[in-house]
Structure 1
């Protein structure tokens, strides 16, 4: 119980810090918040804004108050009422808009994570079993490529090859498996490479243990030695890197969703930043950070299942 309370306190402190940092950074960006709100919702980006319009918007949303007062007013509403604000641009509650966009982000991040785990684990195991052979060297070079290429560049290359040249899948959209393939592949490439590298290293260390050599000496098939003995004991570092990669995937959706016109929280966050829609930006950051923290908490719980020697007091 003490551990859970400590983790809950840490999560609450992290959420507060993320929200505070986001709020104050958004307010130091050049350009007035009221002016940008008017341009994105009333007059258009190319038209001029009058002082009277700016004053009306500033009064409506209390933008003339000191920043610290605006922030603590938002915190008070969020904690006491569960209300994290109303979007300046969409004129709807932030929680409602997040509920609309969250399933798409979870679908994309979940598909990317599943692809990362399935492909990364299997390639890592195969590479460990083929240590220092040609296929092992090829895979290791491929992982260097995977961890070096930025996600947006991979996304553009995939669109160019599979959508524009081969015309196998649509460039953008949402709602079908075809629409999911390219975004998930672009988002997961870095994670596949990271999972594979850690899996290979951990498997090589585990396969050199005495109990593995004993299992082989007993005549057990290789697949049984791997699945029943080696894999479980090699999984702790792999689980750790999977947890970190899940956080990277949640952050990566911001760019990938925008490129593929995927209607998730990431694309909503980009649009909200450009419109200086502070409540919406706060809500998106809060959702992403919360999911990241929950994933890491789940990873911690998996440790005790994989290794009973680990206990949290």
Structure 2
């Protein structure tokens, strides 16, 4: 219970720091917020915007107040009443817009993490069993490329090969398995490579332990040794990496969703930044960071299941 309270306080402090950083960085961007709001309201009529209209927008959203007052007003509303504002551009509550976009982001990030975990752990175990053989060297070279290539470049290559050349899957869209394949593959490649490298290293270290040699001396098959003894003991660092990679995936969705026109929080964040829709940006960042913190909290709880010796005080 004490650990839970501490961790909750740490998460709240992290969210506060992220919100403050996002708020003040958004206000450093050149150009007035009121002007950008009107530009998105009167598209094509920007030159006809008057000073009176700018004044009305500034008054409506309290944009003339000092920044610290605007920020603490937002914090009070967000953490006390649960209201994180109304979008300047869409004229709808931010929570409503996040609820519309969140399922798509969870679907993409969850599928990508599942692919990365299954592929990374499986190939990592196989590579450890084939240590210093040809297949091991090939997999290590592939993972080197996997961790080096940026997600947006992988996405463009996948579109070029599987959509434009082979015409196997559509480039854009949402709602079907075909639409999910390319963005999930592009997003998961880097994480799969990272998970595989850690799995291989951890599995090699575990297979060198005395109890593994004793199990081999008893005549147990290698797959029985792995499934009953080595796998669980090798998974602790792998779970740590998977938790951190989840944060990378959530950040990667911002670019991947935009490339594939995926209707998630990432693409909404990009559009909101260009429109300087501060409440929407704050809401998107808050949602992404909250998901990352929750995943890492679940990883900490999973530690105690993998290793009963770990206890949080």
- TM-score, length basis structure 2: 0.98
Q: 1:60 to 1:197 in 2, by over 3 A?
A: same
Q: How does 1:16-31 map to 2 (within 5 A)?
A: 16-31=16-31
Distance in 1 (alpha carbons) for counterparts of 2:48 and 2:191: 46
Give SS of 1:228's match.
Answer: helix
Runs in 1 of length 4+ with deviation above 4 angstroms?
A: 45-48
1:56 aligns with 2:41: no
Distance (Å, rounded) in 2 between the aligned partners of 1:273 and 1:243: 27
- Kept in 1, the 8 Å contact 2:38–2:46? The answer is no
- Work out whether residues 147 and 193 of structure 1, in 8 Å CA contact, stay in contact via their aligned partners in 2: yes
SS of residue paired to 2:226 = helix
1:34 aligns with 2:30: no
1:84 alignment counterpart: 84
CA RMSD of aligned residues (A): 1.0
Aligned residues: 313
Deviations 1:234-278 (A, max 9, x none): 000000000000000000000000000000000000000000000
TM-score of the pair, normalised by structure 1: 0.98
Are 2:312 and 1:312 equivalent residues in the alignment? yes
DSSP-derived class of the 1:119 partner: helix
Native 8 Å contact 1:128 1:204 kept in 2: yes
1:177 pairs with 2:200: no
1:39/1:47 contact within 8 Å kept: no
Q: Which runs of 5+ in 1 are unaligned?
A: none
The match for 2:73 is: 73
Matched residue, 1:237: 237
Aligned to 2:216: 216
Change over 3 Å in CA distance of 1:214–1:172 after alignment to 2: same
- Cα distance in structure 1, aligned partners of 2:10 and 2:102: 24
Describe the SS at the equivalent of 1:138.
Answer: helix
CA distance in 1, matches of 2:101, 2:23: 21
Inter-partner Cα distance in structure 2 for 1:211 and 1:125: 18
